[in-house]
Structure 1
Amino acid sequence: MLAICSDHAGVDLKEIIKAHLAERGIEAKDFGTYTKESVDYPDIAEKACGAVVSGECDKVILICGTGIGMSICANKIKGIRCCACSDTYSARLSRNHNDANALAIGARVLGDELAKDIVDSFLNAEFMGGKHLKRVEKINALENK
């Protein structure tokens, strides 16, 4: 299962992405927010990323105005490797090379169709392992310092 969340700036795009995921047969658990009333994105990111860390969900898509705030929050959570992406190439390589388990996108900087393409690139890509595994292990080791 995939986790998905947004702050107030990302509510509309989150609904578009959820519909897109449903069309692809991908189940997504929505961790909020559900209205355009202002919320603090760190609270939302913590809940959704917690579902990945606990194993309840495999990956998470986080949506805010730019994707930057959510990605910063997500990367503070042990076990999360989040990328803020505005293009499909970076989204694909975040999985191929970095084994990212979290994708942050910006509702105020992306069109709906590009956002869907970025999500697809992220979800369709697989971790390549090999030389990249050693690097991911070093990233993980940084969390324990």
Structure 2
Amino acid sequence: MTSKFTELAIDCADPEGLAGFWCLVLGYVVQGREEGLVTIGSPQVPEGKERPGPVPPTLTFARVPEGKSVKNRLHIDVNPTDTDQAGEVARLLALGARHADVGQGDDVGWVTLHDPEGNEFCVLTTRCP
């Protein structure tokens, strides 16, 4: 028996704001809201259409009183789907991301960024041909 990765829970100060940022990054939509909690995920597939590949996990943003104080031990990696890495980094910076130095050095194949609340994530080189 195995488990399936279905959801990533992210503690934050502003669930609505951070969910909005990640919706724009990933092309996700809000799937649910409660007091202090927002869940986003891949848009529903229209009836009669098939989703290519597996269903991606949802992200749930939960308001917590404490702030981020150290480097994440878990982070999200994203891959550009319709542009190159530099183009995607520029788009994400325009959405509110910031460059991050977590000791990755200069000779790596990814770009490390912070989301609006300081959580690290990486932009990998494109997997598109």
TM-score by length of 1: 0.27
User: Looking at CA atoms only, which structure, 1 or 2, has the larger radius of gyration?
Assistant: 2
Q: Which has the higher strand share?
A: 2
Q: Which has the higher helix share?
A: 1
